[in-house]
Amino acid sequence: MNSTDPTNDQFAAYRAMWAYFNTTLFGGTLGHIFLNFSRLARSLGFFSPERWRNAGNQTTHEISLNPDHLTHGNAKDSASTLVHEMAHLWRWEQGMQPGSKPPRSGYHDTKWADKMVEIGLMPSDTGKPGGKRTGYRMGHYIIPGGAFERAFDAMPAECQLPWTAVDRDRDNDGDDGESVEGVAKPDEADEAKKTAARKVKVKYSCPDCELNVWGKPGLNLHCNECDEDLVAEGSDAVSERAAILKAA
């Protein structure tokens, strides 16, 4: 049996890496939050504001990284995902200042994008050069020689995550020895897919006025009157995660 304490080792390094980037890239201005890991589908990580509450009715935010994307060979990209989500925390805290307001839920706005560039990460909806800098589904790439790359190259060893996920092959039944609760039965999952396929129209609404538009899923619509992007119905579930993407 391994003599180390995996949970303590992993989260000690996680906290150290967060504190290191808070100091080197954000001047130590970010408040403490709840650090977590979450295997959220199609996500490298996410920022979720005011996600936790204690007995004293205090709330705190959450940043989660997807452990399935944590590999030693991918340590720099994994660290950049953490910093991407820290930029969301920075933007949220900026929006809570007097005379300001937080960004629309799940939206990567210009202030966030400018901060990303400042700390050495280029926002891009494709994750590659030439992509859009703002939007709901946003990735990034590392700016060569930028602030993040310099900080990562100088990062102390104790900030490197010691544990990475193992990519295990699953058999045809998906049984790899894990105990999984609350998973839909195959017939229930199939029915859910059929129901989703039958939904051919989505309601889009302006977050500021009462404008509503119905159309096919995936449309990019804009309210010219309010200068706001229309939000798809049910996107609140997406919003908390769509800070998400690299990934968010």
Q: What is the pLDDT of residue 195?
A: 57
Q: Which two tokens stand for residue 106?
A: 């799940």
- Tens digit of each residue's pLDDT (9 = 90 or more) over 189-202: 555 555 555 556 78
60-78 pLDDT, tens digit each: 999 999 998 887 678 999 9
When pLDDT is averaged across residues 224-244 and rounded to a whole number, the result is: 59
Three-state DSSP at 10 gives helix
Q: Sign (positive/negative) of CA torsion 85, 91, 97, 98?
A: negative
Smallest CA-to-CA distance from 216 within 198, 196, 201 is with 201
Element (H, E) at 159: none
What is the tens place of the pLDDT at every residue in 31-53?
999 999 998 877 899 999 999 99
**Confidence band of 79 (pLDDT split at 50, 70, 90):** very high
How far apart CA 234 and CA 242 sit, in angstroms, is 13
Q: Quote the pTM value.
A: 0.68
* Domain parsing of the chain, residue ranges: 6-165
DSSP string, 116-174: HHHTTEEEESSSSTT--SSBSS-EEEEPTTSHHHHHHHT--GGGS-S---------TT-
Tokens of 42: 């199609």
Q: What angle do CA 17, 97, 46 make, to 5 degrees?
A: 40
Label residue 170 by pLDDT band (50, 70, 90): very low
Q: Which two tokens stand for residue 238?
A: 């997406």
- Within 43-121, residue ranges assigned H as helices are 75-95, 110-118
The most confident of the ranges 117-121, 184-188, 233-237 is 117-121
What pLDDT, in 10s, does the model give residues 102-161?
Answer: 777 778 899 999 999 999 999 998 889 999 999 888 899 999 999 999 999 999 999 999
Residue, of 204 and 160, whose pLDDT is higher: 160
Does 181 or 208 have the greater pLDDT score?
208
